Every structure is written in C-alpha cells, then in structure tokens.
Chain A
Amino acid sequence: MKHKTIEILIQKSLDFEANAEEEKILQAHLSGCKECQRFYQEMVQIQKALYGLTEFYPEHGFNERLLKKLGFRKIFAWTKTAKVFAGAWLASILLLAFSPLPGKAINQILTSAPALMRIVNTGKVIISSLSHVVMPFAKNSFDIVWPIIGLVSSIIITYFFSKAIYPVRKLDANIKSPAQGQDFLTG
C-alpha cells in the first residue's frame, strides 16, 4: 500500500474516523514501515500537545463591565435600608442609654487617646448646646444626648453596611441599539 494512502488513514484514525477494516490495514502497515511509524508518532504528539492547550482569561472586572453595558445597574434598596437604619438606631439607643458597659469601655478608649477625647468633647459641647434648645420640649427624665448619639451612629452604620448587604440590581430598559436589544428584553 502507498505511504500516501496510509497517511490519510493515520489522520482518520486519530480523528476516530477509521473503521475496523481501515484500522487493521493501518496497524499492519505501521508494524512494517519505519517511515509511516515515525509520522504516526509525530501526529500523536501534536494531538497530545493541542489537547493540553491552556485557557486564557480576560482581565478582572470583565463581567461587571459587560453587565453594565447590557444595562444592569445598581439601585438603592430604600425599604430594606430603612429597616437597617431603624434597627441600628434602636439598638444604639438601648445599648448606650441603658447599659453601663459601653460607657465605661468608651471612657477607657477615650482616656488612652487624647486626640479622640478632644473630638468627642467638642461633639459633646455641640450636642449639649443643641439639647438646651430641645430640652424645654422634652421631659427631664430622658437624656436627649443618647438618642442623638444613636442617630449619628446609626447613620454611619447604615451608610457603610446597607449597600453591602442589599445590592439590588435591575435591568435598565434603555439598552443601546434597541432593534437588537428588543429580543433580549422581551424574551
């Protein structure tokens, strides 16, 4: 049999396209022909090398960029954020006003950091002067300073955590090139 015919058989065999009869012919020839045997081995090596080709990936942030282009955007979840805010406010008032522990702990931190102490003292002056304005309308039995501290701390807590806890995304209807986008939007 011609070497050229065998070459075709080798390629067929490697692509799992050769039938039993062709495989038999091929193996018979290979066992007696050094030249074709060498070609066969070369092709096997190539196939192995190609099989192990690495996967490359686009840069970090590819998905985010693509989804943004498609029109997915972050929207702020107001109702959920309001719940976080209310919870944080209530918790800080209860904690600060009725538990002696945080007060002690805060004092300890403040005495060890004079710079922080100065900031807090300035804050206290502002809050107490504000409370003098509000005081005539409030009962003396409840210190107005605590709700204000609670309010401030809950604003800070809500600011830092609500976005992280509730990132709600919604598809923006204004996709560019509406002619093509229509199919995607309407399904």
Chain B
Amino acid sequence: MKNNIEKVADLIEQARKNDEDACQKILNLYKGRIFSYVYRMVRNFHDAEDITFDTFIKCFKALGRFDTSKKFSTWLFTIAHNTTFDFFRKNKQEYEYLDERHGITDDIVEKSEKKRKMAQIEKALIQLPPLDRELVVLFHKEEYSYQEISEILKIPVTTIKTRLHRARKKLSRLIQETK
C-alpha cells in the first residue's frame, strides 16, 4: 500500500514535468474508478464520459496546485464531484426526473442470471437520491472513510453517518421489494 502511494507520488511528479507516460499511467490507474462513480451518478454513458473527461482535464491542468502531502485520489474525487454537480446544475431540467431515465441495468449490466444480483443492486442504487447514492459509492465501493468523504463532499461527518445509514436501509427495502 505504501509502495503504491509512493509510486503515485512519483507519477504526479513526472506528470508535472509534462511526461506523457506518467499522464497515461495516472489515467489508467483512475479512469475506471472515476468513470464508474460518475456513471452511477448521471446514468448516461456519454454524459459520464464527458464529465470524466473534464475531470481529468481539470486535474492535469491543476496538478501544479495539488498538495502532495494529501491523498491524490481524494483530490481527484473532489474534482469529479464538483464537475458532476456542475453538470447537474447546467442540466437541471433534464435531470429533475432521474427515475424516468433509462438505468444502468439497461445498457451496461448484462441481464444474465449470473449477474441478476448485480443488476438488482444497481437498480436499487438508481432509486436513491444523488447525494445518498454518492455516499454509498464513495464509502462502500471506493472505501473512503467518513473523514475523507467529508473532505470530498464538504459536508459534516455526522450528516454522512446518518444519511449513509438511512441509504443502506432504503437499499435493503428496495431489494426486498424486487425479490
């Protein structure tokens, strides 16, 4: 783990010197995580790709300002979060009725029996409000601590705890309903 952090620090250092290989490696390390997060938020492949694209452009252009004593991925997720919510604000009308849009289950997750459970949880996730969905993804999939999520979303830890608990309860109920 420590070795990994040191490697990322090296990559950032090289990327700051305009090293293309380092930029490629940073992209390969994080694009899946960022894209998955954004995709679960906006539920549209092309929008998710655009937002992920903008996130990395902002990241690389501001790399000189990044405080290397901090965790890079937390910083990157902060940019992704801001970019996603900017997008929500700009496309307010389109995103007001989230549930009416086609979900992840329709275009990415296969509907084979093997992936039935996966589709079930994705479908349930979609029905959570964006902020709750974001909390669930950051905490459970990305395994960030309450403190780190608080840094990314700029909301107090106590709020995160109560919302996360409520979100998990709701997820459980939604899954029971579809069974």
A residues engaging B (CB < 8 A)? 8, 11, 15, 42-43, 45-47, 49-59, 62-63, 65-67, 69-70, 72, 169, 171, 175, 177, 180-187
Question: Known: A63-B24, A72-B20, A171-B18. Is A58-B61 also a contact (CB below 8 A)?
Answer: no
Contact B36 A46 (CB under 8 A): no
Contact B20 A58 (CB under 8 A): no
| Residue of A with least CB distance to B63 | A184
Contact A175 B61 (CB under 8 A): yes
Contact A183 B62 (CB under 8 A): yes
Which single member of A46, A55, A62 contacts B33 (CB below 8 Å)?
A55
Residues of A contacting B36 with CB < 8 Å? Answer: 53-56
Contact A53 B20 (CB under 8 A): no
Question: Known: A57-B31, A65-B53, A184-B64. Is A70-B172 also a contact (CB below 8 A)?
Answer: no
| Residue of A with least CB distance to B174 | A46
Question: Known: A56-B39, A63-B24, A72-B20. Is A51-B140 also a contact (CB below 8 A)?
Answer: yes
- Cα distance, A105 to B7, chains bound together (Å): 54
Contact A187 B64 (CB under 8 A): yes
Contact A42 B60 (CB under 8 A): no
Interface of B, helix, strand, loop or mixed by DSSP: helix
Question: Known: A66-B27, A69-B57, A171-B18. Is A58-B171 also a contact (CB below 8 A)?
Answer: no
Which single member of A65, A67, A175, A184 contacts B62 (CB below 8 Å)?
A184
- Cα distance, A11 to B165, chains bound together (Å): 7
B153 interfacial contact with A, CB 8 Å: no
| Residue of A with least CB distance to B121 | A49
B residues engaging A (CB < 8 A)? 16-18, 20, 23-24, 27-28, 31-33, 35-36, 39, 48-49, 52-53, 56-58, 60-65, 108-109, 117-118, 120-122, 136-137, 140-141, 146, 161, 164-165, 168-169, 171-172, 175-176
What are 26 sample pairs from A and B whose C-beta atoms fall under 8 A apart?
A42-B172, A42-B176, A43-B168, A46-B121, A46-B171, A49-B121, A49-B175, A50-B141, A55-B36, A56-B108, A58-B31, A63-B24, A63-B31, A65-B53, A66-B53, A67-B23, A70-B60, A180-B58, A183-B61, A183-B65, A184-B16, A184-B60, A184-B62, A184-B64, A186-B64, A187-B16
Residues of A contacting B118 with CB < 8 Å? Answer: 49, 52-54
